[in-house]
Amino acid sequence: MRCKRCEIPTLIGFLKKWKSGEAFRKLEHLMITVSWQEFDQIMIQNIIGVKYIDAKKQPPTHTLPREFNWDGFRETIPITSHSYVVRESDNRVASIRIEEKVLSFGVWDKTEEEFLRMVK
């Protein structure tokens, strides 16, 4: 998704709603690109309560075989990140990567305990 006028509070609200289990329960993968400013990675991570995998360890890579966009199906961009969030309602994990103007979000079919067993 490309967002020309996304407000950071709106994106934070989206992440908080997913994390609380209030909305977006079937979401598997999302990549948001903003064109007007860079994300303040640390601020967003602090507000939404991101958890971290030890920097010395290799995090798992979230991949989906393909995704649907307005042009049809295409391959997804894998997400490898030391940052993740946990949905409170079912303990499900999503890898989250925030870089410059792109927020990548990939939901695992794993609980936090199962997810952390995949870390090497």
The whole-number pLDDT of residue 45 equals 86
CB 84 within 8 A of CB 22: no
| DSSP secondary structure code for residue 89 in this structure | T
Q: What is the pTM of this model?
A: 0.83
State which residues form the domain around 106.
2-117
User: Coil, strand or helix: which one is 16?
Assistant: helix
Distance between CA atoms of 46 and 38, rounded to whole angstroms? 16
Per-residue pLDDT of the chain (120 residues; tens, 9 = 90+): 566 667 778 888 888 999 999 999 888 888 888 776 667 778 888 888 999 999 999 999 998 766 666 676 666 778 999 999 999 999 999 999 988 788 889 999 999 999 999 998
Distance between CA atoms of 3 and 94, rounded to whole angstroms? 21
The residue whose two tokens read 């290799």 is 58
User: Coil, strand or helix: which one is 8?
Assistant: helix
Indicate the number of domains in the chain: 1
